[in-house]
């Protein structure tokens, strides 16, 4: 499960209007930029509690990179460290000698994070740091009050539900049969509980259901309802 969404972030420096909080918003169009592209710049994400952390993904951003190709000078280096108190740090992964271009590196590991050393571009910019693992609590509650209605334009529908306190987000599942909910639209909790679905076929019947998710897992799927 995603553990890092909207968690507190601090950075060694920030350039212009590219704050550190952008690395935990799950939006590839936003990113953090360091004041300078230099060794020892760092980011720290506070997960807020202890989790069984299993993997980290670091996604670099292409901000004014002045790069129009790829060669041996383009590579990314960083270190990941974990701490339970913010003072004593334990190494998790060391890519400080990496000589490959890995702008979206995914690393499986046993626990949290911090730090950076090299990026082969004009600016050090990171769009997302994604921490994955599991919480120790039970799965979240199933959302209630699901309502789904088609608009006058049959290609569109408005779907609403009641919020579930404390969840990270919701998976709205839909399809052409109650047993074929093969399509999914993910919506984070801070985006509200109304979704305008604009992907339907005129004359085709649809059914929908919803589930919530957080750091501990995914809820039981709600009862399936017809899209009227």
Q: Give the residue extent of every domain in the chain.
A: 8-134, 147-226
pTM of the model: 0.85
Sign (positive or negative) of CA dihedral 48, 49, 51, 54? positive
Q: How does pLDDT run across 71-118, given as a tens digit for each residue?
A: 777 788 888 888 888 888 888 888 888 888 888 999 987 655 444 444
For the structural domain made of 8-134, what CATH number should be given? 2.60.120.260
Q: How does pLDDT run across 141-181, given as a tens digit for each residue?
A: 999 999 999 999 999 999 999 999 999 999 999 999 999 99
For the structural domain made of 147-226, what CATH number should be given? 2.60.40.10
Q: Which residue has the tokens 């950076």?
A: 116
Beta strands per DSSP E along the chain: 8-11, 32-33, 43-46, 52-60, 76-77, 79-82, 90-94, 104-108, 118-119, 125-134, 147-150, 157-160, 169-175, 183-188, 194-197, 207-214, 217-218, 225-226
């Amino acid at each position: 499960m995603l553990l890092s969404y909207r968690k507190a972030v601090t950075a060694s420096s920030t350039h212009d209007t590219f704050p550190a909080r952008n690395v935990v918003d799950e939006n590839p169009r936003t990113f953090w930029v360091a004041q300078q592209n230099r060794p020892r710049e760092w980011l720290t994400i506070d997960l807020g509690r202890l989790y069984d952390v299993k993997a980290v993904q670091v996604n670099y951003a292409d901000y004014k990179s002045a790069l129009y190709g790829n060669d041996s000078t383009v590579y990314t280096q960083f270190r990941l460290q974990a701490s339970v108190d913010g003072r004593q740090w334990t190494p998790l992964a060391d890519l400080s000698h990496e000589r490959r271009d890995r702008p979206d590196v995914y690393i499986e590991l046993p626990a949290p994070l911090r730090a950076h050393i090299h990026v082969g571009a004009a600016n050090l910019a990171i769009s997302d740091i994604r921490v994955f693992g599991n919480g120790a609590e039970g799965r979240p509650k199933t959302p209630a009050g699901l309502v789904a209605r088609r608009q006058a334009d049959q290609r569109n529908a408005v779907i609403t539900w009641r919020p579930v306190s404390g969840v990270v987000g919701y998976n709205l599942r839909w399809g052409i049969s109650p047993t074929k909910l093969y399509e999914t639209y993910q919506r984070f909790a801070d985006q509200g509980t109304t979704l305008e679905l604009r992907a339907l076929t005129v004359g085709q019947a649809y059914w929908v259901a919803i589930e919530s998710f957080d750091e501990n897992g995914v809820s039981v799927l709600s009862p399936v309802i017809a899209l009227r």
